[in-house]
Structure 1
Amino acid sequence: MSYQQITIAVKDNVAERLADALMEHGALSAAIEDAYAGTANEQAIFGEPGMPAEQIWQQSKVIALFDESADVAPAVASAAEDCGIAVPEYETELLAEQDWVRLTQAQFDPIQISERLWITPSWHDAPDENAVNLQLDPGLAFGTGSHPTTRLCLQWLDNNLKGGESVLDYGCGSGILAIAALKLGAGSATGVDIDEQAIRASNNNAAQNNVSATFLLPDALPPHQFDVVVANILANPLRMLGSLLAERTKQGGRIVLSGILDEQVEEMSSIYNEWFELAPVQTDDGWACLSGTRR
């Protein structure tokens, strides 16, 4: 079976309502994306303490999938009427039937992070049986090792963990950093995320890798300090979380921060220099990783 995919450019105040209305009028699925995704104007959306609970891009696009035989025009018109807007213009693309599972899997090969560290999807054999292999499949939670920020943090853990450390992964996503820390010799690892889906995904990934990590929502995190605190998120939450992350780091402990663009390094360094003696910055493809020792 083939499918019709339509794309509608909309303002932020109507995107969610239009996506829901399209589903009510026959769409098989509907998703909202940043209209500027893949460009210099791409806007990261995240949730953190102190930020609005609901956020969406100012310029969005609604992407809806219909059956090949569906009459799309009246569905779009009815959805627009439900939302109280004029019938929008839209682009239509015919998607041929494919084995979507195999197609998706074909896009994800093993990723070598360092000389001894690999990330391998479950449908691949480990490229090096003697290496440290993280088995991780792409999923709903962020973090499969392909992004420079994740690579930078993994490389830091590989180069700096001595064994037996307690590690906090703040903003754990898929749990990849906490899981990697344990497989690289950490004594314990705790992951925190504001998204319950990320907690479930992290627990599943830990079980898949035969490691025992703890994953929690922020309010459930006990008042412990850690030898290593890793936060691979984005600059805006890192601005707000400086004091919190410092309080979670033992004196003499280490912090690792990523999700920072090269041009944001100076600002982030000035913020975290209040609590940490910072090491030289590591960079990868326009992204930076800050690390330091707690004073």
Structure 2
Amino acid sequence: MPWIQVKIDIHPAQTDSIEELLLASGACAVTLEDGEDHPIYEPDRGTTPLWTRTQLTGLFDASADMQAIIPNIEERYLALSGNPLPAHRVEILEDKDWERAWMDNFHPMLFGKRLWICPSWKEPEDPDAVNLMLDPGLAFGTGTHPTTALCLAWLDAQDMSDKVVVDYGCGSGILGIAALLLGAKRVIGVDNDPQALEASRENTRRNNIAEERFEIYLPGEAPDVEADIMIANILAQPLISLSPTLASMTKQGGLLVLSGILEQQASEVSERYSEWFDMDPSEQKEEWMRLSGTKR
């Protein structure tokens, strides 16, 4: 079953109130993890100590409308505590603990005919292929999730020579870096998570790509650009909200590829983007869809 997770960096005193808000908002489960590297040794009897910096994660069904849920949680938490909700991010959940699975079991994967995604701790199977060396770190995007795989296969099938690409919601940087390795001239990556921006920068360096070719920005800070190719692998509701922005950043005749969309959400997203784009037939992998089109 596909899932979305909300990660919130909290102080232990905030745990109960935020956990209750997440559960009341439809979270199926809430977990607590160490937000840094502070071990807890044997606690006193009857106590449940938490780390000084704790990461609280709420798990939601992927069809949940996070565009409505998050503002509601923010409003209710402000009313309860008088303080804004701590730093948080919403992301698609990989199908398992991929950081651990990669270290133990992962082998390079081929997408399309040319593009290999290789864990940074293993040698490529074909040194002469287009090899993207990746360490996902703290950001979504390993190639294992269907949404990312659909976008990688699409990129491999395109002529990327000298193209300007926008990767909106760049995560680990996997799609933007793939575009550059396949021949793109310049990529503008945008993400609202500072950890994702750092992962994108690190993976850019890992692939020996000059940092000025992969420009990385928070939303609202990206330069005015008319992209030859617009990529957005996020979630259906943000894609709908962002449609005027993504359309305005795509040149006439430019290509669009969208993912992070469940099967039952595809028609609504496609209809929204058809205001600006001639949409292609959709592609599906498991429960997830990829939409693409050409700007009129």
**Does the pair score TM above 0.5?**
yes
1:225 aligned partner, one-letter code = E
**Which blocks of at least 5 consecutive residues in structure 2 are unaligned?**
1-15, 24-29, 41-46, 75-98
Deviation at 1:46, TM superposition (A): 6.6
Task: Check 1:239–1:250 CA distance in 2 against 1; reply closer, same or farther (3 A cut).
Answer: same
Q: Distance in 1 between matches of 2:101 and 2:239?
A: 36
SS at match of 1:155: helix
The structural deviation recorded for 1:27 is 4.0
Q: 1:151 to 1:215 in 2, by over 3 A?
A: same
Distance in 1 of aligned mates of 2:141 and 2:215: 17
In 1: Cα distance, 2:209 partner to 2:67 partner: 28
Q: Does 1:131 align with 2:150?
A: no
Match of 1:192 in 2: 190
CA distance in 1, matches of 2:72, 2:162: 37
Question: How is 1:144-183 mapped onto 2 (pairs within 5 angstroms)?
Answer: 144-183=142-181
1:253-272, aligned counterparts within 5 Å? 253-272=254-273
| Local SS of the residue matching 2:259 | strand
1:291 corresponds to 2:292? yes
Aligned to 1:274: 275
SS, match of residue 240 in structure 2: helix
Aligned twin of 1:225: 226
1:228-239 correspondence to structure 2 within 5 Å: 228-239=229-240
* Native 8 Å contact 2:32 2:57 kept in 1: no
Match of 1:34 among 51, 55, 58: 58
For 1:148, give the aligned amino acid. Answer: P
Q: Is the 8 A contact 2:171 2:197 kept in 1?
A: yes
Q: Deviations over 1:215-268 (max 9, x none)?
A: 111121111111101000000101101111000000010111000111111111
Structure 1 residue aligned with 2:21: 12
**CA–CA distance in structure 2, aligned partners of residues 269 and 197 of structure 1:** 30
1:137-190 deviation line (CA, Å, top 9, x unaligned): 131011111111111111111101341100000000011111000000011111
Q: Secondary structure at the match of 2:220?
A: helix
How far 1:19 sits from its partner (Å)? 8.9
Question: What is the RMSD of the two structures over their aligned residues, measured on CA atoms?
Answer: 3.3
The code of the aligned residue for 1:184 comes to L
Instruction: Pick closer, same or farther for the CA change 1:246–1:30 going to 2, 3 Å.
Output: same
Q: Residue 34 of structure 1 contacts residue 43 of structure 1 at CA under 8 Å; is this kept in 2?
A: no
- Compare 108-117 and 267-276 and name the one that shifted more: 108-117
Normalised by the length of structure 1, the TM-score is 0.71
Q: Report the alpha carbon displacement of residue 129 of structure 1 after superposing the two structures with TM.
A: 1.5
For residues 2-49 of structure 1, the C-alpha deviation after alignment (integer angstroms, 9 at most, x for no partner) is xxxxxx9x53369799999xx89544585433356xxxx45669789x
User: 2:103, 2:263 → 1: CA distance?
Assistant: 32
Alpha-carbon distance between aligned partners in 2 of 1:18 and 1:197, rounded to the nearest angstrom: 17
- Contact 1:175/1:206 (CA < 8 Å) preserved in 2? yes
Whole-Å Cα distance in 2 between the matches of residues 265 and 241 of structure 1?
15
Secondary structure of 2:71's counterpart equals coil
SS in 1 for 2:216: strand
Alignment partner, residue 52 of structure 1: 71
Provide structure 1 residue ranges, at least 5 long, that are not aligned to the other structure.
1-7, 56-100
Cα distance in 2 for partners of 1:243, 1:51 equals 22
